[in-house]
Every structure is written in structure tokens, then in C-alpha cells.
A and B are shown apart, each in its own frame.
Chain A
Amino acid sequence: MLAAENLVFRAGSRLLIDHVSAAFEPGLLHLIIGPNGAGKSTLIRILARLLRPAEGRVLYDGRDVASQSARDLARRRAMLSQAVEVAFSLPVRELVLMGRYPHFTARPGAGDEQVCDEVMKFFGLAGMADRCYGTLSGGERQRVQFARVLAQIWRPVEGATRILFLDEPLTFLDILHQIDFMNKIRGFAAQKDAVVVGVVHDLNLAARFADRLLLLHQGRILAEGPPPGVLVEEHLRPAFGVAPVLIRDAATGKTHLVFEDRGPA
């Protein structure tokens, strides 16, 4: 269980996160949506303890993250960002093994190597182990980074829920890989000891894959809950400045969104 209590974050005098409280349950896929500048990336970074809030606190399983050691945290919490830049060209396997860094001291143990094998197989990277990261395509790089991040929390942690954060993980992926990624994320989120919180831009992907949505606007939560209740005109028009047309697919029961062709007012 991941909970945020009354979070406030300022950049200079600007209020980026304005008294946000929320709870994220294991076994469900939570996605944060909102227009540019709504504070999505800031919020997810505070939740992951990569930023310190000015007020409020973040609790993992009821414990304040501010009081936990960076290493203990890193064994159960991982974060995938968009476009990770690698300074020196590393082989793919070395990069994926970095996900195990919080779990070993000097050199990886047999367990770490095994996790690395499993994760690379899961992502179809087994044949790329010795390729240099610098020679990969944008989509391949994102797959390697996702493998690294999942390697970090691949195995259950005794007495703790694992928490995965995703900050716009689909940016460099084509449509096939976007769907593949979202299915893998759903698969991970379905575990009883895993909390997944992601930020996505594409509202249709959000509608299709999320169990819970959190709509952020000007640093505040405008709406939250299962997608059908959040993705309605009275929420989307004030947040995005455009009105949605909802198309219900009778065959799958899923809702698709189309937007009016009108720029910002």
C-alpha cells in the first residue's frame, strides 16, 4: 500500500503540487493523467522519494519514506523514466545487472545473475546481451531500461510491497511495443504485493489499461477512480480545454476517446 498525505511542492514561489492526498493499492494499475504542467512528473518523483515535498509525507506500507535508508528503499521501489541517457557505452547485460545494484555489495551473486537472465528473456533481450547500448534503437533502449528497472524488484521482498513507478514509459515506442509494454505492466501490477503508479499522456491507453485513474490539473486532483467515471466531459474539458467524444466499442466494452478539433481557447 502506497499513500500520500497532503503533499505540497513548490518551485520558487510557484505551487506545483497543491495539497495532494491519494492512496494506491496493490494488485491494481494506477495511471496519472493530466495536461502539460499539471504536476504529474513532480508528483510521481515525490512518491518515489526522488524529490522531497515541502509539506506532507509519503507512506509505504504505513511507514514514512523520509525515515528509510536509500538502499532499503531501492530494494523494493523502482522507477522507469523516459529517455535515460547512458554516459559511456555499456553492454546491454551490464546495464540490466545495474538493476541488481541495491541487492549486492561488490560483485553480483548467482541469484542476481539469474534474475538478470529471467528479465532479459521476459523482454526478448536474450540475444542482445553483448550489444553496446549506444548502438540500439530508441525502442530497444527503452526495453533495456525497462528490463533494468524490473530486475530491481523482480523478486518479492519479505514483508514489503514492491512499488514500480513509470514516468511516460511509452514515449519512444511504436504502437505494437506500447501495447506490449502496457500488457507487461498490467501483468506486473496484477501481483498481490505490487503497486504500480504510472504517468501517461495517451488518454486512450489510459482508458484501456488502467484500473484506477488520477486526473491532475494545476497541482490538484480533479478526479480519481475507475476510468469510466474519470474520463467524462465535465472533468476533461476543464483540465485539457477540449471536449471528448466517447465511443463505446460494443464488442469489447472498452471506451475510446476522440477529441474536438479545437486548440486552446
Chain B
Amino acid sequence: MKGPRGDRWCLALLFALMIATAVASIRFGAMDFSFSDMAAAAWGWLSGAAGLSLDQRIFINLRVPRALLCLLVGACLGAGGTLMQGLFRNPIVEPGLVGTSSGAAFGASLFYVFGALFKVNLGAWTLPVSACAGGVISTYVVFTLAQTRNEGRSSILRLLLTGLAINALFMSGIGFLSYVARDPAARSIIYWNLGTLSGADWNSVLVVGAATAAGLAPAIALAKPLNALMIGEEEAAALGVNVRRLKWTVLSINVLMVAVATAFTGVISFVGLIVPHILRILRGPDNRFLITGSALLGGILLSLADLIARVTLRPAELPIGIVTAVVGVPVFLSLLSSRDYLS
């Protein structure tokens, strides 16, 4: 079905799928909970009963926030990918490409290796704050360096290449840190770079939730100007779009969502790249559908990946970065080969 009505149906379907994945991901894991267990735990928690069993506390304080964090982080990465591909008018962009995620990873690695020397100690917040700061700083560096002198605007290609270069620089910094680090720190760095949701708790859900809401609400309003940008910067300007302001708004939203999400979960690649493509193949490139749709599908994909990461080797779990690609690539490649998407 085409048009706005079809879009609404499709979003409703994605929303239902998201709920279903979320339910599956709180039900299964290192330990399975039946629906009656889940209901009992939720009832006990909501009614403020003091006597929650250990299992019930695991469910309420670990399993549920983890499922929610998956949805939120997936939404950030999916929507971030759509925004950045739209802004750069380029299908190979992923949200971390302008330095955000490698900078965040470098900030986190610094914390793991030299955290004890940090002058400011924010307790449990030190890791996310240093990762987030790293992401914001590196993105800012990329933008400053990519500013062209004569026209005062960042040409797209220059921005991408600067992003690649700065990414390489931060990756070598991370490599150096993990090389000099002693074992628990070195292992943490590797683990963090593959992404993990095992640190999920209600605090991280609240912070990432706030960042997601603060990013998604204005992003949805940018759909129309981003559509206009499909036909070029000058053409969009002729249609009344303030391209410069659009660029800065999109980039700020993306940095906010990606830096905060990465700060709590580590580097999760690939979701932000393929989610927008999957939806574009299925329903075309209209951003009025794509931004919300990719937030939902990003959440679905990350929840599924996390579920698989938790149940494959249980009670141990895989880093999620390994699973996202294994789940996403076959779907992506089969859609890519079955449609004339790139013509």
C-alpha cells in the first residue's frame, strides 16, 4: 500500500513487531521466565512489595532494563543512520562515520586504562561521561578540520574523508591503549569495542531514553527538509530550506543520540548502516516514514541480536557486535539482490 495510509500501517506493524521482540527478550535468556513469573514479578514490583525473590529481582533490575535499553539504543542507531545517510546523500554512511563512535571508544579506553588517574570521579557515571565526551570532541574535531576555507561550508566528500582519517587515528589510539593495558583493562577495551548491553540498569535506561526522546522528536520534524535535500543542496535551498541550519541540527541530533547510546553499550556497528537501507528497499526513500520506521526497526534488530547473544552460549553471552552482523547481513543481502534498489 502506498502513501501516508500505507506508511501508518507499516509503522503500526513495526511497532507490534517491536513489542513482540521486547516480550521475547525479557522472557528468554540465561534463565527463562514464564508469563506468570513475569506477571508476578511485575505485580510485586509495582505494588512495592519488599519480598521480591532473587529471580524476581534479576527480572526487574536486569532483564527488563536490558530489553528497554536494546530498543532505545537500536532506535538511536537506526534513526541516526537515516539522518546521516539523508544529510550526506550517500548510502554508505553510518552514524559513527564522522568520528562519533571511535571518539567515544577512545574516551572509554582512556577510562579503562587511566581511569584511576582522572581528577574528576563521577562514580558509575565516569565511563559513560568520558565516552560521551570522547564522541562529542572527536566529532567536533572532524567538523572543524573539514570546514572548507573558501566557501565556509563542509563539502560532503571532505567531511567523509576527514571522518575516516580521524576514525583511523582514534582506532590506533585505542590499539595503543589496549596494547599497554594490563589484562582486565585490555579485555574490557576489547569487549567494549564489540558492544555489550550487560551493563544495562534503570539509570542507563533513563539517560539513553532521555537522549532518544530529545533526538527523535526534532528529527521527525526534519523529514521534509531532508527529503528536499535528496535533490541537492542548492535545489533544497531554492525550495526554502536553510541547508546550513539543517546540517547543524541533524549533526547535533546524531551526536547526541549516538554518543550517549555508545557511552552505555560500547560500539555497535552495522545497525545504523543497514536499517535505513532495509526500509528504503521495502518502502522507498521518503524520510517522513523512514525516520520513525528506522527507529522502530533499529530497536527490533538490536533486541533480536541481543536475544541471540544471550541464548546461544548460555549461561555465557556473546558480544552483541558479533551477532548484529550475523543477523543483519543475510536479511540485507537478500533484499539487496531481490530488488532493483540501486538503479
Contacts and interface: CB of A to CB of B under 8 A. Distances in A.
Nearest to A45: B234
Nearest to B4: A107
Contact of A101 (B150, B228, B234, B285): B228
B232 A71 contact: no
A89 B285 contact: yes
Contact of A70 (B242, B280, B288, B343): B242
A158 interface: no
A86 B230 contact: yes
B343 A74 contact: no
Interface in A53-89: 69-75, 77-79, 81, 84-89
Nearest to A152: B239
Q: Binding site of A, secondary structure by majority: helix, strand, loop or mixed?
A: mixed
A50 interface: yes
Contacts of B150: 11-12
A74 B231 contact: no
B317 interface: no
Contacts of B284: 88-91, 94
B155 interface: no
A101 B240 contact: yes
Contacts of A135: 343
Contacts of A79: 234-235, 238
Q: Binding site of B, secondary structure by majority: helix, strand, loop or mixed?
A: loop
A26 interface: no
Contacts of B4: 107
A70 B231 contact: no
Interface residues on A, range: 35 or more
Contacts, number: 79
Given A87-B89, A90-B284, A107-B4, A95 B240 contact: no
B126 interface: no
Nearest to A70: B240
B90 interface: yes
B240 A102 contact: yes
B210 interface: no
A132 interface: yes
Contacts of A230: none
B231 A94 contact: no
Contact of A50 (B89, B237, B341): B237
B241 interface: yes
Given A73-B240, A74-B239, A90-B285, A98 B234 contact: no
Contacts of A132: 343
Interface string B212-230: 0000000000001001111
A84 B233 CA distance: 10
Contacts of A72: 240
A119 to B, nearest CB: 15
6 contacts: A11-B150, A70-B240, A78-B238, A88-B285, A98-B227, A106-B224
Given A70-B241, A75-B240, A87-B230, 18 more contacts: A11-B150, A12-B150, A70-B240, A74-B239, A77-B238, A79-B234, A79-B238, A84-B232, A85-B231, A86-B231, A87-B90, A87-B229, A88-B89, A88-B284, A91-B284, A101-B240, A101-B241, A106-B288
Interface of B: 4, 86, 89-91, 150, 224, 227-232, 234-235, 237-242, 280, 284-286, 288, 341, 343
Interface of A: 11-12, 45, 48, 50, 69-75, 77-79, 81, 84-91, 94-95, 98-99, 101-102, 106-107, 132, 134-135, 148, 152
